Structures are given as structure tokens and as C-alpha cells.
Amino acid sequence: MKIRIDLLEQRYSRFEEFIKKMDKCPFLSFKDSVFINMSENYKYSVYEEARNALGSKWWKQDQIGSGIIKESVTNAIHANVVHSGKRINNNLVNWRQKNDLLNQSKNKNLEEIFFNLYKSKASEVTIFERLINEKISYQFIAYLFFIKDRNRFLPISQEKFDHIFELIGLSEFKTSRNVSWENYKTFIDIIQQVQSFLRTKDSAATLLDAHSFLWILGNQMKGPVIEEGSAKTKSKHVRATESVIYSVEDVQPAQQAIAEEDDVLYFPEGKEVFALHRSKERNKALIRLAKQQRLAEDPKLCCQICGFSFVEKYGELGAGFIEAHHVLPLSQLREEMLTKPEDLAFVCSNCHRMLHRKRPWVTMSDLKIITQQAHTEQLES
């Protein structure tokens, strides 16, 4: 399966413009870009920390079935990592899968597969197929191979990459619901082709850089236009940003979490209800930076109104989750106004809803008073 170079050239030109806008300077290389370093290069840190935690060089064959190897693999799945002096969420694997692995009883067969993957010269095709037979998800299998060798293997997010491949003219190739060694190798081969192309621009571009390039194209930059009234918009909610309409399921969880409820219109369409957000464009890099600063101050990411913490309530599943609230609503921002990290507050979902329940919007200080009064009344009743 071959990529059209002319399409890559077009996408690369838009990529350069995007990075120039984000970095405030021309794109030179994947290592030199501040935006790429903070939004994508954390994957290098994930790899290094995972390799250190895995400790496979110390494994012994007689440990298979003891639970030690499974514990080592579980330890290699970090909820967040330290990158460039900041703690950043690891979004390369679903954390429920780590919990599933933790909750498993001793599994000699699975530990043997892990041992063969990291310690032996066993067939990688066979290992991949055995992991499938153990009901391990495609995303988790790809992660396990990635932390074996980042120069040969990559993490995967199937639906995201299916959309990304459409952007570069490969709409016929699908990874969703197609878990197999052949499918994964085709996925890697496509990104190797992108790497070869990128090396004509940045001679040091790695396979992981090619992965990041595609991820930025499909998730950080604007996607293709979906006409209103099309079959796609009739099947689910849509989110509009200027002239671009995205499916809600194509939006990163962090983006969903920061979507404000202002300027939402509901209109009937038969028995279903659809929502369109007339929203001003949000600077994802700014939100990521503000969230990192907040994490440094408060690792539990407590709501700045009521004190609720998702990680305290839901454990690892809630780690790193919080919603961003613009203290000055986006609808009131003029184009020439710049938003700074301190213009963002982090609140739980309930408080965020209440802040936008009525016009004029409730202020954070007023909502704090309301919650404190409600708490006092509960104690007195």
C-alpha cells in the first residue's frame, strides 16, 4: 500500500504553517519544536520509563507463572510520565486494560508470551496471535510491542488512525476491528513511508516522529469538512469550529472535557435531538500548558470550586481528568485578545455545568459561596 507523495506534500505544507503558528517561528525539526515537544514527544519519555520499569533483562524462565513477569509488565504501564520537567498523561493505552491485567490471577500462558516477546527470539507473528487469543486488545498489543522497540513498532489508536489515513489518501485501509499481525505490519509500513518522506525535510526524523506528524494532522489540526445534513451529521452529535465540523467521537477526551455549554443550540430532527456548538477556536497547546502547571501545583487536580478529585473518586481511571473553564467566556473574547494560562480554571463536570446553567454566567466565586451554603445547610438539617 503506497502513499501519494503529492498528498503528503500538501499536508506537510499545512503542518509547517500550523507549527509556525503554534511555535511563533518556522518549523526546523521535530526536536526543535516547542509545541511538538510538549504535545507529542512525551512518547519518548513513556518508552524510556516503560523500559526501565519492565526490567526484562532480569527475568528468568523459571519465573514464568509466578506472577512476577505480569507485575513487571503492569509496572510498565504508567498513568503519566515526567517529560521536560513536567508530569504529562500517558495517552498511548487505555488504563482499564492495566486494571484488567492487575486483577487477573496468575496466568502462566500469558507470562510465557510476555517472556517470549521481550526475552526470546520467538516468532513475533506467533506472539501477536497468542496475545489476540488471550483477549488482549489491539491497542494494548501495539503498546506492548512499542515498548519492546520504538524503532520498529508503534502505539495505535484504531479509529483515530482510520481517520488520519483518509487524510493521506488511504481510506481503504482500516485498523478498527481488524486486529491481526498483517494489519499491524501494514500500519507500521505506512508510517515508515511517512518517515521516509519526512526525512527529505528533517534528516533526523524517527518512526515515532512520523507517528506524531500524522497524529497532529488528524487531531491537533482541523479536519475535513462534513456538510450539514449529511448522513454522518444525522447519526450523531456534531461540533462545529468555524467552517469545520467534527464528529464528537473524533474529538480527544481532553477536548470534550473543555467544551463549554455556552452557545449550544438544540433543534429537533424527527425523534432525535442534535447539538451544534457555535464555538470559537480553542488553543489546545495553551490548555495543555495550563493543565501541566495545575498538575505541578495539585497532583490530584481538585476542582477549584468544590474540591472534588476524579483520581480520588475513581482511582487510576480518573487520573489526569479535569475540565478547563475559561474565566472570561469565549463568546466574550475578541479576536485581538490573547488568552493566558492564568485565564483558565479547572473544575469538575458538575461545577462546570452549574457555571453555565443560566445567563449571565455564574462566577466561580459566587458558585463557591453557593456550594458552601448548601454544605452548611446539609450539616444543620
Q: Give 30-56 pLDDT, tens digit per residue.
A: 999 999 998 899 999 999 999 999 999
For residues 260 and 219, is the Cβ–Cβ distance under 8 A? no
pLDDT beyond 50 at 269: no
pLDDT at 197 over 90: yes
pLDDT for residue 28: 94
* pTM of this structure: 0.60
Q: Residue 311 pLDDT more than 70?
A: yes
Lowest-confidence pick of 15-19, 227-231, 340-344: 227-231
Q: What is the pLDDT of residue 95?
A: 60
pLDDT at 299: 81
* DSSP bridge pairs for 345: 325
List the grid coordinates of 252. Answer: 480527544
Q: Please report the pLDDT score of residue 242 as a whole number.
A: 29
Q: Is the pLDDT of residue 335 over 50?
A: no
Q: Mean pLDDT lowest for which of 88-102, 118-132, 274-288? A: 274-288
Mean pLDDT for the stretch of residues 255-274: 39
Asked if residues 142 and 117 have their Cβ atoms less than 8 Å apart, the reply is: no
Residue 293 reports pLDDT greater than 90: no
Q: What is the mean pLDDT of residues 108-116?
A: 94
